[in-house]
Structure formats: structure tokens, C-alpha cells
Amino acid sequence: MPPPVLDVRALSVQFETNEGPLRVLRDVSLQVAPGETFGLAGESGSGKTTLGYTILQALAPTARVTGGAILFEGRDLLGVSEDELRRIRGRRIAMVYQDPRSALNPTTRIGAQIAEVLEIHERAPARAAGRRAQELLELVNIADPASVARRYPHELSGGMQQRAVIAMALAGGPSLLILDEPTTGLDVTTQARILELVADLKRRVGAAILYISHDLAVIAQVADRVGVLYAGELVEVGPTADLFAQPVHPYTRGLLDALPHLDGLRGLVPIEGRIPRLTDLPPGCVFAPRCDFVAPACTAATPALETVAPERRARCVRWPTVLATPRRSTAAAIAPETVASDAPLLAFEHVSKYFGGAGAVARWLGIGAPPVRAVDDVSFDVRADEVVALVGESGCGKTTLGRLAVRLLRPTAGRVRFAAPKPTDAQIVFQHPDSSLNPMKRIGPSLARPLVLRGLRRRERGRRVRELLEAVRLDPDYGARRPAALSGGEKQRVAIARALAMAPQFVVLDEPVSALDVSTQASIIRLLAELRRTLGASYLMISHDLSLVRHVAARVGVMYLGRLVEIGAVDEVFRAPSHPYTRALRSAVPRPDPAVPGRPIRLEGSVPSAQHPPAGCRFHTRCPQKIGRVCEEAEPPWARASPTHWIACHIPIAELSRSSEEARP
Amino acid sequence: MSSLSPTLGVGGAILALVLAMSLAAPWIAPYPTTEQHMLERLKPPGARFLLGTDQYGRDLLSRTLFGARPALGLGLGAVALGLALGVPIGLTAGYVGGRLDDLVMRVVDAMLAFPSLLLALLIITALGASTGHALLAIGVANGPGIARIVRSATLALREAEFVLAARARGERHLYVMFGEIFPNVLAPVIVEATLRIGFAILAGASLSFLGLGVQPPAADWGLMIREARQYVFLSPWPLLAPGTALAFTIVAFNLFGDGLRDRLGAT
Amino acid sequence: MARYALRRLASIALILLLVSAIVFAAIHVLPGNAATLILGEYATPEALRTLEREMGLDRPLLVQYASWVASVVTGDWGVSLAMKQPVATVVGYRLRNSAFLALAALTVVVVVGVPLGTLAALRRGRPLDLAIVTATYVGISIPEFVTGLVLLLVLAGPSVGWFPTSGYVELASGVTAWARHLVLPAMTLTIVLLAHVVRQTRSGLADVLTAPYIRTARLKGASARRIVLRHALRNALLPTITVLALDLGYLMGGIVVVEEVFAYPGMGRLIIYAVQNRDVPLLQMCALVVASVYVLANFAADLAYAWLDPRIRYS
């Protein structure tokens, strides 16, 4: 085996804070060989991003390396001078991180930003650097490099921006490429193309890649070997296939069992408890407080990273027991039951919602912009005691539809009918834990307020607040806390309790877990399912995560650019016949299983503007199955695939069934 | 608890001193503010008059001590008036949005096109020069700026999920504005108000200096400087005593406001 | 860009209309109309009514406003009551004098303020930064009339006498004399504005230096010098353009006091004169002109910003 490009040895890093040192990384060792992709997985607070910045010596001034070494091509980066570091950065080691939009200088053209790397490191003349920049854009599969090079970052879509950043990283011909969550925040079809590019680059460029992500499914698709970080420690490392097939560390096991699966049959088993505070670490193994296998030996001393099999190491003293114990039955206990009722509880009838648009005067002057058609002529209903999910990528209108359902917005056209006695019988739970609770209010008063509206007396309110906290599995003493003292998952529990306090018959769940870590996600989803059974309420769940939807919904609607394109029972939507967009969406979801490599259907271009949606079928500009002029000119009709399954496409159902056969099982 | 920042500490200390001066003036001032010592005019600092005397032989120390009162009174009063106008307007415009917001903000923009001193001058022309009118004029001139700050803070919170949740459960708009949004707007408003007190004091002193604010023979820093002008080459003390007091007071509000901004994390 | 300019222009027109309404309202809606202002509190009712009819004050307010706007737009700015001269002539001359002052101050502010602010941002937290920041606190906190009088005392006193204490000399009678009269008032204005621009530049640059794209540049291997010159400064200075336009409004307020201190015959002193003599036609136009200058300066700044910032240019 060739010597590793990157050899991190027993690295420890801490941040100085007012509450004492934050020990973000402790005794982390890993190697990345030339041509290898090493996937570093971890939830928030694991220290994975700090590791990336430590390698490039780009830490905040409050951070300090307290031990270890970072050998890059045999030389310890911790000892090199600032000048040498400058020669290494961008040329020998390059980094790509989350949110490409902010990573690019907003007032400099793309080409110039890429060419700058060459100007710095090779003193290349401007013209040659510019030409090379275009070649690099071509290398990252940008179809029209000359025109893209002349553009400014804000003129590109998120996926294109990230390609440009990757091109910039490749410009110096680095031997180590650090990719830190490069697809987080991108839509799943865009993500699929970036992952494809990463795999492709590995073949063509041959650099060592350190791929950092919270998303195990993505890691499963791109990495050769995987390391799992938990609370600043590397708890397990091994070849991707082995590690996913047979995780050794209880945390790795827990993570894999917590993931939702596209087949809806496995996963969503939560890891109880929360990540320890890094100022106040538990004695011994950091995972011991949450571990099912915990024994006295675990808390006695910090376990070492032991070799458990060839090339596999884990930081667990109980590993033989763990391996000998079969994995928990992961049958999804939350699968939705069949619907009892036929009466629609909430019905969207040809609902449209347009935003903005210029006034009459501006339109007359010809300087006004047309309105954004967030939702355009959508009809479907949610029945009593039913869970319906809406899926689609950003900008498809699903969030707007959710807000229309709870009267936060009024439709521009059409009607939202709600067959409950009071309008407030429809409630909503939002996406962002940090914004869902009023930061100036304690939890108790936040939960008591809906009860005031319902006319409960003071004493009843106190009792009911305690009951609500209990219902979402929080201690009654949380009532006295402020939101800032709660974790993301806990805040989301409070937000759920607040919606429940209104005793709703219908709840919109707008991406209720997408801001949460995998292990927390599973417990919130289970909680929601359980609460629904006791309440007998209906849910409209809005999500970009198809796997998650598979676990919870009875019916699913798929949206694209303001339109509903398909709706049906969950099993129907997840198999043929499918709308071409649904098919592409489904194929783009990465599987947390290295044995099932992704074969995403490629969607060209990006989502058109909702201000100028294409005529005819809105998907025709990107549709891989477009049949001709009719797609560009005529609205697609709704075709019935089954009594419950409808597809809006010009292609006949029979053909849609056939064309989907070639998709993987 | 982190230690007191230097801006907050220094600013607070000067403010406490100025406040103490204005409160204790009757007891610590050596002479009545209007008592003239005709034989001791334009004296430099000495044993009898610690800061010297003005052109009528009035004690500068006494007058400077008492001068803190109209300054603080006008600063606090004008900003209170500005808040009373600006907060409800900004909150409503930001929360309601749409046409109302457009209209209100255009008017606010138009009012901000006038330097605040000019706006105050317009009002004083209509009402006549006096301390009360100066306060009114400066207060009104502060309204639009405060409305703008409150409006943008409100706008940022309008779509916050806790606000949407309140609306979804059928809260009244007044409750959403004052019960949910306002507590979160308070921090930037306090910072802004603190900074504005300093500028209101400055504007009030400017009006008095122009003869359009506090009228003689009152002891007011702006007015004292107006009267000192003619004699500045004979004796700088009638200028320097109130000028220094004025500058220190305004610096203090600026320091304190910036310190608060850092402490409260407001932008 | 053209569409953006057109849109801005439409909103500028609206704001100017509102500005004129405010001027009109301030003087006409508040108790006591122009006739009482002119004749004083003790005028006989007959005299008042006669004057009101002459001035058209007996018509409905909206009609008065409309006819006033119409005459302003057509160039008929009326006659000053106290000076007995056409308002347009007086304002034109004074505006030019004030423009000399404002331009001199702004030039110094840009040439000195931006580099000073940059320096402070790059040396953040070090002694030099601390000194600059402290100086800016002093700068923004001392009223112009105190600064002006202190400068007068130090640089124009009988013992030094480097500059004239007050007044103005026409450009025609010699550049040196003209410039010497300009120095002290311009310097006074500069001190406050300088503090303002330094603070803005410093905080703007400090903000930009924490932006992710600066980290990108650093991780490309760019030198500190290159990061500041190529990436940070341009993005940091863009907002300074807007601040300069806002400062012009501040300058217009400062001019009132500074011109009074140095008996400089510009707009500021004209405004005080109009206020003291209750010369309503003159005051109205002064206020309108000052506010319009501010609005137009902001318009120019918006265009400059849009021209320099691709994010707006292509929207």
C-alpha cells in the first residue's frame, strides 16, 4: 500500500470559551491514501468540520491544537510557517465547503475566481489562467464553460455554484481534496449530480479525498473507507462495505438503525439521550450514557481504538458482545394504518397562490415583474384520520400549500375547505427549532398561551401544561426553562406540544425533522405517529425526504414548480407507473447501503423560474421522457393509474409502467 | 457573567456623573445661576470661581452644573416622544406589510430627507422658539428614524415561526405585535434610543446655540456657548466649560449605546 | 440597469412630492398661518384677512398646495419677504457657496477617512485601532459649534491669525483669499463626517473579513495583502457609497450651525435668516432645496452602487 497522503495522528483540539475549554476533538487518528475517498461521518457537534479546518490551519483564533500531528505527504502541517502554508493551501490541499453561494466572492466573475488560484501559485499570465479556468469548468461537467466563466456567482444555480467551487479547488492540482458537506442544502437531484461528479473526479484526478458529511447515505455512496465521529472522538473506522454491513460500535449501529429507508421497512429506531456537552464530558466512553451495551468497564476509562478485524477498528470495550448480539428488529412500527373515513377533512380546490408582482402603474410602464406562481391550480384532499405527505424540491410550492392549509396565507384563486367546527382546529409545526419558539418566553408560558385562547382557567392551564410536556416526553421542570437552554430536538418537542395544546383535528408538519440529527429525527417521527394515534388527527406532512415520507404517510403527493404532478397511495407512488419527475426524484435518493449503488436519472439544467414557468407541462424543459410538441404546448391531463393513483402526464399510463421497468427494483 | 466592557463601563460612569451633577446641582453649585458679579466679569478659573465667570460675572461652574438639567431633560424627553411616535408606527408598518407599509415607509423616507435640525427648524418657525417647542421639534424629528429601525426589526420577525404559530392559533393581531414581536424588538430599540439621546442633546444644544431653543437667562450649555461666542478671544472659559460638559455627555451616551449593542447582541 | 434606474426614478419622484407636502404641511397646517407669521400676533383682523386674500390663503389647503407645487415646478419660486429679492436668485447663490464647503469637506473625508478606517479594521484590537476608534468617538460627539469655536480660537485668534474669523470672499477676487475663508468652516464639517466615515469603513471591512468567501480566498493560498485588496475592500467599500450620500444629509444639517459660527453666506445661514425673519416663501424653498439635494444624492448613490455591484446591476 502506498504511504498515506494524509496521516492524522492522535489530534486534539480545543476552543477556549467563557464556560471553560471546549474539547472539540480528542485523540483523532486517520489516514487517507492517494486515490482513496475517506468518508468522515458525524452528527452536529461531532467535530467533523473542525477537523477539516485544522488540517488547513484555518481555525478560529480561540481554537488551539493541544496534541498530535497532521502529516501531509510526510510533513507535519502543525509546524510549517505561514509562508509555506500559503504555498500548500489551494495548491497541494484544497477545500470545498457547504453553501457555495457564500463561498464565492459576490462581485468577482466565476472565471476570475478560478484563475486566481493559478495566478497565485503558478504566476500564470492572465490569459492562460483564464483559458485554464474554462478547462476546469469543463472538467466539472459544465456544458458552456466560456459563458459560465463570465458570470457572477448570483447568476448561477446552487448546483452550478458548487461545481464552480469544486473547479476552483481542482485548479491547483491538489493531492488532497477536503469536501465538507458539499451537497448539504442542495436539492436531491442536484446532489445526485454532484456525487456523480465526485466519483468521476476520483477516477480522473486521482487525488485523495476527505469527504465530510452528516449524511450516512451519501457517505455510503462515495466513500471507500469510513470513520465515524462522535462528540469529538473517532469511534469506529473501516472499509465502507464492511462497516455498513456489520457496524461494530454501538453508536454506528444506532445511527444506521435510525436512518429512514426508501423501502419503508427498516430504520427510524431512535438513539435515546443527547450528545454530551463538550465542556463536561462523561467519564470513560463518551457514548456510555446513551449506550444499550453499557457495562461498568465502559465508565472506568476512555476505551482505545482497538483492532476488531483486518482494517477495522472500534473504540468500544464491549465490541465482542455487540457483534454477538443480533441487531434490533427494525420493523417500522409507525407505518400508517389504512384510512377509515372517506369524508374529506381538508380539501384544496383549484388553489393558486401568487406572490408579489408589480402594481398596475409599473406594469403599464413595462418595468414591473410578473408575480411568482408559488402554487398554481392544485386540488387534492386530506381525509379524517389520514396522513398525507407532499414531496418535492425547494421552490415547488409545498411549504406555501401548507401555509394555505392553516390560513396563514389566502389563496389567490380557488378554495381551501376545512370541515372542522373551528378554523383553529388546523395547526402547524414548523421546520426550524431555533425560530419556532419565542426566545423571550419561557416554555411554560409559551405552552399556556394556546390554553388561554381556549378559555382554560389558570389552575387547569398549569395541569395541562404539565400533561403536554409529558406527552412530548419532556420533564415538567422544562416549563421554567428558556428556549436557549434546549437542544434542537427538545425545542421541536415543545413546538409540537404547543400545536397539540389547541387540540387540533388537522396538523401541518412542515419539514418537522429536517433540521435535526438522524438520531433525534427518528424519535420525533415516532412521537408524532404515536400522538396522532391518541389524538385521531390528520397530518399533512411536507418533506423533501422521500425515505421519511415512505415511513409515515398513507398517501403522497409530488409537486414540481407550483403544480401537483402525481398523487397516490404511498406504495403506488414509490413504484411504477410514475410521473417522470417522481421517477427521477426517487432515483436520486442515495441509499445508505454501499451494496446498492445509486443510478440516478440525470435531470438537465435547473428548475425554471416560478415567475416565468414553461408553458404546457412545467417539467418539459428537463424531462428525460419528453415525447414532443404536446409537452411544450398542452397542459398534461390527469390520468388514472388506479382508483387512488393519479398522474399528470401526456405519456399514457401503460407506457409509464413500461418505462419504469428498467428502474432498479 | 463576563466582565464589564470598557465602552459600557466608561460610558456608564460618565452618565452616572452627569446625572448626579444634574440632581445635586442645587446643593453643590456655589452660586445661583443668574447671580451677576459685575466686577468679576470673564474671569479665568480661580479660588472664588472654580471655572471662572461669564460676561455678566456669573459663575460658570454653577451654570455648567445646572446646564445638565435642560440637556438631559431635552434628550430624554425628545427620545421618549420619538419612541412614542416611532414604535407603534414601525411595528404596525412592519407587521401589516403590503400597501400600508409602502405608504408609511415612503412618508418616513421623505421625512428622513430633511436633516433633523432642519425639520426641527421648520416646526419651530411655526410654533415659536422655546424649550418646550425645541423638545417637541426634536422629538418629532426622531420619530421617522425610530420607526424605520422598529419596522425593519419587525419585518425580520414577521415570518418567524413562533409568530406564524401565534397567527395559526388565532391570536389577535395586537397580541401578536405586542406580545410576541415587541419583546424581541426591544433590544435594538433600547440601543437605538440610547444613541439617539446623545444626538437629541446635540440637536437641542444646536437650537439653543442658534437662539431658537432655551431662552436667556436660563443656564443651558448651548445657550451659554451662544453667549460666549462674542467674547471667545477675551476669555475661552465661557466656551470651554459648557462645551466640555456637552461633549462628555454626548460621548457617554454614544459609548453606552455601543456597549449595550455589543452586550445585547443587537445589530 | 436601465430598468432599475427607471424604478428608482419613479420612487424618487414620489418622495420629492412627499417632501414638498411635508414642507407645506409644517408651515401651513400647524397653528398660525403665514399671514400671522408675517404680521405678528398683534395684527388687526382686517389686515390679516387682506393679506390672506393677497397670498391666496383663504383658498382650500389642497388648492394652495397644488398651486404652490405648480409654481415651484415652473420655476416661479416667489419673492423673499425680508430680502425683497426673487427666492430663486438668493437660493442659487447661497447653494453654490454651500456646495464649495460641502465638496471641500467631502473630498477630505473620502481621501482621509477610507484609508484610516481600513487601517483600523486591519489592526483591529491593537493600539492604533484603539486610538482611531477613540478619536472617532470624540469626533461624532463634539457639536459643530464647539469644534468651530475652538478652531476659531486656536487658528484665527488675534495672536495666531492664520485664517479670517468669518465671512466670505468671492472667487473672482482671488483664489487664495477665497480658499482661506473656506478652510475653517470646511475643517469643522470634516471632523464630524470623518469620524462617521472611518467608523463605517472600519465596521464594514471588519464584517467582510469574516465572510466565508474571504476564508475561501485564504484557503486558495492568497496572501493577506491580496485578500484585502482583491476580495475584501471592494465589497466593504460598496456600502460606504450609501453612507456618503446619507452623510450629505448630515452635512446639510451641520452647515446650518457651521455657517452661523463663521458668518459664511451659504444655505445654512440663509435658513437661519429665514427662520429669524419668519420669511415663509424663502424658508419653504430652502427646506425643499436641501431635502431635494439629499434625495438626489441618494439616487446618485443608488445608481453608483448598482453600477458597481453586479448583484443589483443584473436584477
SS (H, E, C) chain C: CHHHHHHHHHHHHHHHHHHHHHHHHHHHCCCCCHHHHHHCCCCCHHHHHHHHHHHCCCCCHHHHHHHHHHHHHCCCCCECCCCCCEHHHHHHHHHHHHHHHHHHHHHHHHHHHHHHHHHHHHCCCCHHHHHHHHHHHHHHHCCHHHHHHHHHHHHCCCCCCCCCCCCCCCHHHCHHHHHHHHHHHHHHHHHHHHHHHHHHHHHHHHHHCCCHHHHHHHHCCCCHHHHHHHHHHHHHHHHHHHHHHHHHHHHHHHHHHHHHHCCCCCHHHHHHHHHHCCCHHHHHHHHHHHHHHHHHHHHHHHHHHHHHCHHHHCC
H or E element, residue B253: helix B237-264
**DSSP conformational letter for A378:** E
What range does the domain containing C168 cover? Answer: 87-314
Buried b (16+ CB within 10 A) or exposed e, C217-233: bbbbbbeeebbbebbbb
H or E element, residue A487: none
A383-410 per-position pLDDT tens digit? 988 999 999 998 899 999 999 999 999 9
Burial class, B244, CB count within 10 angstroms (exposed 0-12 / middle 13-18 / buried 19+): middle
Percent of chain A with pLDDT over 90: 72
Q: What is the number of CB-based contacts under 8 A between chain B and chain C? A: 141
pLDDT of residue A331 exceeding 70, the answer is no
pLDDT of residue C203 exceeding 50, the answer is yes
- How distant is the Cα of B77 from the closest Cα of chain A, in angstroms? 28
> Does the B6-28+38-266 domain belong in CATH 1.10.3720.10?
yes
Strand ranges for A246-357 from DSSP E? 306-309, 312-314, 344-355
H or E element, residue A613: none
Q: Report the chain B residue with the minimal C-alpha distance to residue C288.
A: B114
The predicted model scores a pTM of 0.88
- Residue at C251 is within a domain: yes
**DSSP conformational letter for A383:** E
A533-547 per-position pLDDT tens digit? 888 899 999 999 999
Which of A50, A105, A122, A365 to mutate to probe the C interface, most C CBs <10 Å? Answer: A105
Using a CB–CB cut-off of 8 Å, the residues of A that contact B are 18, 403, 406-408, 423-424, 426-428, 430-432, 435-441, 446, 449-450, 453, 495, 498-499, 502
B101 touches chain A (CB under 8 A): no
Pick from C3, C220, C231: CB nearest A89: C220
- Check B118 against C287: CB less than 8 A apart: yes
Closest to B82 in 3D by CA, of B55, B52, B111:
B111
A25 beta partners:
A13
A591, A610 in Cβ contact below 8 A? Answer: no
- DSSP letters spanning A384-444: TT-EEEEE--TTSSHHHHHHHHTTSS--SEEEEEE-SSSGGGEEEE-S-HHHHS-TTS-HH
C287 touches chain B (CB under 8 A): yes
- Check A441 against B170: CB less than 8 A apart: no
- Check C257 against B209: CB less than 8 A apart: yes
- Check C157 against B114: CB less than 8 A apart: no
Using a CB–CB cut-off of 8 Å, the residues of C that contact A are 3, 6-7, 10, 211-213, 215-223, 226, 230-231, 234-235, 238, 308-311, 314
**DSSP conformational letter for B180:** I
pLDDT of residue A156 exceeding 70, the answer is yes
Q: A326 with A345, same domain? A: no
B159-178 per-position pLDDT tens digit? 999 999 999 999 999 999 99
Pick from C215, C222, C308: CB nearest A120: C222
Percent of chain C with pLDDT over 70: 95
The residue extents of the domains of chain B are: 6-28+38-266
Q: A623 with A570, same domain? A: yes
The C-alpha atoms of residue A374 and residue A367 are separated, in whole angstroms, by 21
A176-204 per-position pLDDT tens digit? 999 999 998 889 999 999 999 998 888 88
pLDDT of residue A485 exceeding 60, the answer is yes
- Residue entry with cell 496521516: A7
Q: How far is CA C110 from CA C52, C201, C205, in A?
A: 49, 10, 15
Mean pLDDT of chain A: 91
**Which chain C residues are within 8 Å of B206, Cβ to Cβ?**
143-145, 256-257
**DSSP conformational letter for A260:** B
A65-76 per-position pLDDT tens digit? 999 999 999 999
C162 phi and psi angles, rounded to 5 deg: -70, -35
Q: How far is CA A355 from CA A615, B167, C141, C155, in A?
A: 19, 19, 46, 62
Pick from B212, B233, B243: CB nearest C275: B212
Please, what is the Cα angle at B47 between B45 and B51, to 5 degrees? Answer: 30
Buried b (16+ CB within 10 A) or exposed e, B95-117: beeeeebeebbebbbbbbbbbbb
Counting the structural domains of chain C, the total is: 1
Pick from C221, C235, C309: CB nearest A86: C221
Q: A22 with A52, same domain? A: yes
Pick from A436, A453, A502: CB nearest B162: A436
Pick from B119, B206, B250: CB nearest C145: B206
The predicted structure's pLDDT at residue C146 = 94
B184 touches chain A (CB under 8 A): yes
Q: What is the number of CB-based contacts under 8 A between chain A and chain B? A: 49
Contacts of A119-127 with CB under 8 Å at 24 or more apart are A120/A90, A120/C220, A120/C221, A120/C222, A120/C223, A120/C226, A121/A87, A121/A90, A121/A91, A121/A172, A121/C221
B263 touches chain A (CB under 8 A): no
- DSSP letters spanning A521-552: HHHHHHHHHHHHHHHT-EEEEEES-HHHHHHH
Q: What contacts A189, CB < 8 A, 6 or more positions away? A: A393, A584, A585, A588, A600, A603
The C-alpha atoms of residue A501 and residue A514 are separated, in whole angstroms, by 23
**Which chain C residues are within 8 Å of B224, Cβ to Cβ?**
none
What range does the domain containing A297 cover? Answer: 1-92+174-332
- Residue entry with cell 501559485: A121
**Which chain C residues are within 8 Å of B106, Cβ to Cβ?**
11, 14-15, 18
**Which chain A residues are within 8 Å of C225, Cβ to Cβ?**
none
Amino acid making up residue C82 = A
Pick from A403, A437, A450: CB nearest B169: A450
- Residue entry with cell 419532556: A474
A190, A159 in Cβ contact below 8 A? Answer: yes
C125 touches chain B (CB under 8 A): no
C244-288 per-position pLDDT tens digit? 888 887 787 888 999 999 999 999 999 999 988 888 889 889 999
- Residue at A137 is within a domain: no
Q: Report the chain C residue with the minimal C-alpha distance to residue B241.
A: C146
Q: Report the chain C residue with the minimal C-alpha distance to residue B121.
A: C275
Q: What's A573's domain CATH number? A: 3.40.50.300
pLDDT of residue C96 exceeding 50, the answer is yes
The C-alpha atoms of residue A221 and residue A591 are separated, in whole angstroms, by 7
- Residue at A129 is within a domain: no
Higher pLDDT, A263 or A282: A282
Pick from C261, C283, C294: CB nearest B125: C283
- How distant is the Cα of C295 from the closest Cα of chain B, in angstroms? 6
The C-alpha atoms of residue A413 and residue A210 are separated, in whole angstroms, by 50
Q: What contacts B146, CB < 8 A, 6 or more positions away? A: B82, B83, B85, B86, B87, B90, B189, B192, B193, B196
Strand ranges for A33-106 from DSSP E? 37-42, 63-72, 75-76, 93-97
Pick from B162, B164, B184: CB nearest A408: B164
Q: A242 with A273, same domain? A: yes
- Chains touching chain C through at least 3 C-beta pairs below 8 angstroms are A, B
Residues A151-160, mean pLDDT to the nearest whole number: 92
C-alpha cell at A370: 410578473
Beta strands A563-569 and A555-560 are antiparallel
Q: Report the chain C residue with the minimal C-alpha distance to residue A168.
A: C220
- Check B118 against C283: CB less than 8 A apart: no
Pick from C149, C274, C280: CB nearest B232: C149
Q: In chain B, positions 54-113, which contact chain C (CB-CB < 8 Å)?
A: 106-107, 109-113
- Residue at A241 is within a domain: yes
- Check A432 against B161: CB less than 8 A apart: yes
Q: In chain C, positions 16-55, which contact chain B (CB-CB < 8 Å)?
A: 18-19, 21-23, 26-27, 30-32, 37
Q: A468 with A550, same domain? A: no
B164 touches chain A (CB under 8 A): yes
The C-alpha atoms of residue C126 and residue C136 are separated, in whole angstroms, by 16
A7 beta partners:
A31, A71
Amino acid making up residue A316 = C
Higher pLDDT, A335 or C134: C134
Burial class, B51, CB count within 10 angstroms (exposed 0-12 / middle 13-18 / buried 19+): buried
Q: A372 with A480, same domain? A: no
- Check A408 against B180: CB less than 8 A apart: no
- How distant is the Cα of B170 from the closest Cα of chain A, in angstroms? 6
A340-395 per-position pLDDT tens digit? 567 899 999 999 999 987 666 666 666 667 889 999 999 999 998 899 999 999 88
- Check C7 against A362: CB less than 8 A apart: yes
A387, A538 in Cβ contact below 8 A? Answer: yes
- Check B107 against C18: CB less than 8 A apart: yes
C-alpha cell at B57: 460675572
Higher pLDDT, C3 or A574: A574
C137 touches chain B (CB under 8 A): yes
A76-119 per-position pLDDT tens digit? 999 899 999 999 999 999 999 888 999 999 999 999 999 999 99
Pick from B116, B212, B239: CB nearest C253: B116
C142-162 per-position pLDDT tens digit? 999 999 999 998 888 777 778
Cα four-point dihedral sign A616, A619, A620, A624: negative
Residues A404-433, mean pLDDT to the nearest whole number: 94
C314 pLDDT band, cuts 50/70/90, is low
A550 touches chain C (CB under 8 A): no
C105-133 per-position pLDDT tens digit? 999 999 999 999 999 999 988 999 999 99
- Check B168 against A427: CB less than 8 A apart: yes
The predicted structure's pLDDT at residue A664 = 43
SS3 content of chain A, % helix, strand, coil (to 5): 35, 25, 40
**Which chain B residues are within 8 Å of C302, Cβ to Cβ?**
none
Beta strands A306-309 and A75-76 are unpaired
- How distant is the Cα of B160 from the closest Cα of chain A, in angstroms? 6
pLDDT of residue A662 exceeding 60, the answer is no
Counting the structural domains of chain A, the total is: 3
Q: Could you count the other beta carbons within 10 Å of the beta carbon of residue A61?
A: 7
B206, B115 in Cβ contact below 8 A? Answer: no
Altogether, the residues listed in chain B come to a count of 267
A259, A41 in Cβ contact below 8 A? Answer: no
Please tell me the least confidently modeled range out of A59-63, A386-390, B102-106, C247-251.
C247-251
Q: A477 with A411, same domain? A: no
Beta strands A37-42 and A208-213 are parallel
Q: What's C256's domain CATH number? A: 1.10.3720.10
H or E element, residue B148: helix B131-158
Compute, in degrees rounded to 10, the torsion defined by CA atoms C181, C184, C190, C192. Answer: -140
**Which chain C residues are within 8 Å of A365, Cβ to Cβ?**
6, 10
The predicted structure's pLDDT at residue B1 = 38
- Residue entry with cell 477545500: A95
The predicted structure's pLDDT at residue A109 = 95
